[in-house]
Amino acid sequence: MKSAVIRANERKLLLMAALVLLCTVGYLLLEVNLANPRLLAYAMKLRVPKVVVMLITAFTIGGASIVFQSVINNTIVTPCLLGMNSLYTLIHTAVVFFLGSGSLIAVNANLAFGVDIVLMGLVATVTYSWIFQKTKHNVLYVLLVGTVLTSFFGSLQSTITRVMDPNEYDALLTTLVASFSNINSEIVLFAVVLLAGVTFAIRKELALLDVLTLGKAQAINLGVDYDRCIRRLLLGVTLYIAVATAMVGPISFLGLIVANLSRQLLKTYRHSQLILGSALFGMIVLVGGQLLVEHVVSYTVPISVFITVGGGLYFLYLLLTRKKV
């Protein structure tokens, strides 16, 4: 038995999927000489990996943001609070500062990705699993720890950049902006395997998301092992964000936008639909945005500028129009 809301939402999701397809095809084929197979092959070689990375990133950030908001039980939190963005920035700044921009870790993308993943995974596990247990499963403490860590990493990073050689800083700056270019296929494959592993590990908890949003007392009433469930989901979300950030750079602010767009459009509590909607919105924003970056403003503005400016305005709008606080 399907209610009218579910069916209406399925239509909306289909429409969004069609839009994603349109953006993707548009991105792949715009300004390509279709008559010349060699030029076409060359363009595809450049564009297909980028599109794949964008789609994966959008899915990861979009899905993780919805789960994160539901776990915290607040729809205006952003997964930036988990501190992964600033940790990424710190790691990369520290590597360039201590080892030099020509060092192996800075130059070899696979190695850099590996270092990012290990460090972020470590911080994620300690903060969002261990501390969570230590604080008797108080989500707010964990958020506070995340916020403090974010400023801590940020301060360390800015201290380093102050004493850094300007030329090195210049080289560093390009890696600190989210980018979809130059990501090799090994990293993408590794990221997909990691994401699949995390998803598999928390598959049972994901099915409980709808019940969790009823609040702690109701969830326990309905037989959910609340603390364990929240802990595993929080850890899973952080690892998700960590993988996406290690892959493309600081991007988790995107999550706030797409998760709320999804909630606004679908008006449901069903997480299967919310997550899908959020992921599709992410794909539209990223692929559509990159299309604009490459063909309208011809690379003068990076996509993260659009995301931050647009996201910031949308965030203000959300704060001002929220009825209840």
Q: Work out how close the CB of 319 gets to another protein at its nearest, in angstroms, rounded to a whole number.
A: 16
Q: What's the CA gap between 199 and 205, in Å, rounded? A: 10
Among 102, 197, 215, 312, binds another protein (CB under 8 A): 215
Q: Is 207 in the site for another protein (CB under 8 A)?
A: yes
Is residue 292 a contact residue for another protein (CB under 8 A)? no
Q: Is 185 in the site for another protein (CB under 8 A)?
A: no
Which range binds another protein by CB under 8 A, 142-150, 154-162, 177-185, 209-217?
209-217
Q: Which is nearer to another protein, 163 or 217 (CB)?
A: 217
Burial 86-114 (b: 16+ CB within 10 A, else e): bbbbbbbbebbbeeebeeebbeeeeebbe
Binder among 214, 291, 305, 318 for another protein (CB under 8 A): 214
325 binds another protein (CB under 8 A): no
Cβ(287)–Cβ(55) below 8 Å? yes
DSSP state of 293: H
User: Measured between alpha carbons, how far is 25 from 34 in angstroms, rounded to an integer?
Assistant: 13
44 in contact with another protein (CB under 8 A): no
Position among 174, 184, 185, 218 found at the interface with another protein (CB under 8 A): 218
- Contact region with another protein (CB under 8 A), list: 12-20, 47-55, 67-75, 149-157: 67-75
Out of 165, 170, 186, 225, the only residue in the binding site for another protein (CB under 8 A) is: 225
Q: Quick one: which of 110, 221, 301, 309 contacts another protein (CB under 8 A)?
A: 221
CB 251 within 8 Å of CB 308: no
Report the C-alpha gap between 248 and 256 in whole angstroms. Answer: 17
- Integer Cα distance of 135 and 128 in angstroms: 11
- d(CA 234, CA 81) in angstroms, rounded, equals 12
Kindly list the residues in this chain that would bind another protein in the complex (CB under 8 A). 1, 3, 5, 73-75, 207, 210-211, 213-218, 220-225, 267-269
